[in-house]
């Protein structure tokens, strides 16, 4: 197997067709993060460092691997800090030689934190496993909702909260893709405020990530689209979610809501309305992304296993600390306190700038 390194804008129609075929054949690859469309958008915003390794064998394409080429011989995941999935888009069972890919890219190491565990090329180099909860709508919305009602009291209370919201503030309206300035500005304001309260900067607020979000928001095709969903009570916008979808999967990316209406759970009501819309459109999966927030664990039907780690070439200055980090992380995971492994992981991320792009 060999690798040709190209820019995203060099992907031709035949390559895109092969790419989509790989996606369609593997349930773990159907996220919008794995689409050629997302890759092209990020490449348009960051043309200097976004690249794609086209993996081929005897003239036949075997897979695609998108990344950012960073300083000091480091590769980072496509879209860096805003990426909820990354890995190789290839036929099921394909095991690419990632050492060969690093060499072809002129790199010494690659850090990853949201790769599917089903990709053994990444799992074999991981120091941590996590999950991405998701809802499988294959059985329909009603079947999913009935299962939630039977074992989740807070879910059963949503109907009461929804009626209270409507009674106090007006009829509830859902807009699947609200392109109004009101919805977008409300989303930005609420998200920025909620993160600021936690001492976290809103990454979509400025810079390259903001430009990527704007480009995604403006895209609407059968294979890929941005989706700004809004919930209104009367004339008032009370919750907005900005995400993106592929042909079958919607990724729940950046939810937000007006804190004034918190007691009526507008964010959860927005999820219910989104699921109903997805069923009507024939989409089968709502992916919440990595995390253990309560709404994710309450609503999910399945979890997709992810891995975090790094790949390094045998002899390299930036590879040595990454190999050491993996050894330390394994040792930390054996300690009785759960705080130690998490502290070690975060410290390692900061020191190595793992997963970040600049």
Asked if 229 and 178 count as a contact pair (C-beta separation under 8 A), the reply is: yes
Please tell me what DSSP assigns to residue 92.
Answer: T
CA distance from start to end of the chain: 31
C-alpha pair distances (Å), 88 with each of 46, 48, 77, 113: 20, 21, 11, 13
pLDDT the model gives residue 105: 96
Asked if 165 and 172 count as a contact pair (C-beta separation under 8 A), the reply is: yes
**Chain-centre distance of CA 207, in angstroms?**
19
Strands (DSSP E) found in 178-312? 225-233, 236-245, 249-257, 285-287, 302-312
Q: Which structure tokens are listed for 256?
A: 């937000």
pLDDT at 340 over 60: no
C-alpha pair distances (Å), 196 with each of 95, 188, 202, 205, 259: 42, 12, 8, 12, 14
CATH 3.30.1490 fits 139-283, yes or no: no
Per-residue pLDDT tens digits for 113-171: 999 999 999 999 999 999 999 999 999 999 999 999 888 877 888 989 999 999 999 99
d(CA 257, CA 346): 28
Per-residue pLDDT tens digits for 251-287: 999 999 999 999 999 999 999 999 999 999 999 999 9
CB neighbour class for 132 (10 Å; exposed up to 12, middle 13-18, buried from 19): buried
| CATH class of the region 2-133+306-352 | alpha beta
Per-residue pLDDT tens digits for 178-230: 999 999 999 999 999 999 999 999 999 889 999 999 999 999 999 999 999 99
pLDDT at 97 over 90: yes
Q: Which structure tokens are listed for 227?
A: 């989706």
Residue 160 region, left (φ>0) first, then alpha (ψ -120 to 50), else beta?
Answer: alpha
C-alpha angle with apex 81: 77 to 87, nearest 5 degrees?
25
pLDDT the model gives residue 339: 64
Place of tokens 């070439």: 313
d(CA 33, CA 56): 22
Per DSSP, the three-state class of 136 is strand
Q: Which structure tokens are listed for 243?
A: 């995400």
pLDDT averaged over every residue in the chain: 93
Q: 249 — phi, psi (to 5°)?
A: -125, 130
Residues of the chain with CATH 3.40.630: 2-133+306-352, 139-283
pLDDT the model gives residue 322: 87
Place of tokens 């991981």: 126
**Chain-centre distance of CA 327, in angstroms?**
27
Place of tokens 């300035």: 181
d(CA 128, CA 180): 41
pLDDT the model gives residue 356: 83
Asked if 88 and 64 count as a contact pair (C-beta separation under 8 A), the reply is: yes
């Amino acid at each position: 197997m060999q690798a040709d390194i190209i820019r995203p804008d060099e992907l031709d129609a035949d390559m895109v067709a092969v790419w989509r075929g790989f996606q369609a054949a593997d349930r773990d690859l159907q996220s919008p993060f794995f689409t050629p469309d997302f890759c092209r958008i990020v490449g348009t915003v960051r043309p200097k460092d976004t690249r794609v390794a086209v993996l081929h064998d005897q003239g036949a394409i075997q897979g695609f691997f998108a990344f950012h080429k960073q300083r000091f011989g480091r590769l980072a995941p496509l879209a860096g800090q805003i990426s909820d999935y990354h890995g190789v888009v290839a036929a099921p069972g394909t095991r690419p030689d990632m050492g060969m890919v690093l060499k072809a890219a002129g790199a010494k190491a690659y850090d990853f934190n949201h790769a599917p565990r089903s990709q053994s090329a990444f799992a074999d180099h991981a120091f941590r496993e996590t999950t991405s909860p998701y809802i499988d709508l294959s059985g329909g919305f009603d079947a999913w909702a009935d299962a939630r009602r039977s074992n989740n009291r807070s879910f059963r209370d949503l109907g009461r909260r929804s009626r209270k919201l409507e009674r106090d503030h007006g009829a509830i309206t859902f807009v699947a893709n609200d392109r109004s300035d009101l919805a977008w500005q409300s989303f930005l304001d609420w998200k920025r405020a909620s993160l600021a309260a936690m001492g976290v900067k809103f990454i979509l607020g400025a810079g390259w990530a903001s430009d990527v979000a704007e480009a995604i928001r403006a895209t609407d095709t059968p294979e890929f689209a941005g989706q700004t969903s809004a919930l209104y009570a009367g004339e008032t916008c009370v919750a907005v979610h900005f995400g993106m979808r592929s042909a079958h999967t919607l990724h729940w990316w950046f939810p937000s809501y007006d804190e004034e209406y918190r007691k009526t759970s507008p964010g959860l009501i927005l999820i219910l309305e989104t699921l109903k819309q997805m069923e009507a459109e024939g989409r089968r999966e709502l992916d919440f992304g990595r995390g253990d927030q309560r709404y994710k664990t309450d609503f999910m039907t399945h979890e997709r296993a992810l891995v975090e780690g790094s790949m390094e070439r045998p002899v390299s200055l930036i590879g040595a600390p990454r190999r050491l980090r993996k050894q330390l992380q394994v040792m930390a995971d054996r300690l009785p306190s759960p705080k130690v492994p998490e502290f070690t992981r975060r410290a390692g991320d900061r020191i190595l700038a793992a997963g970040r792009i600049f």
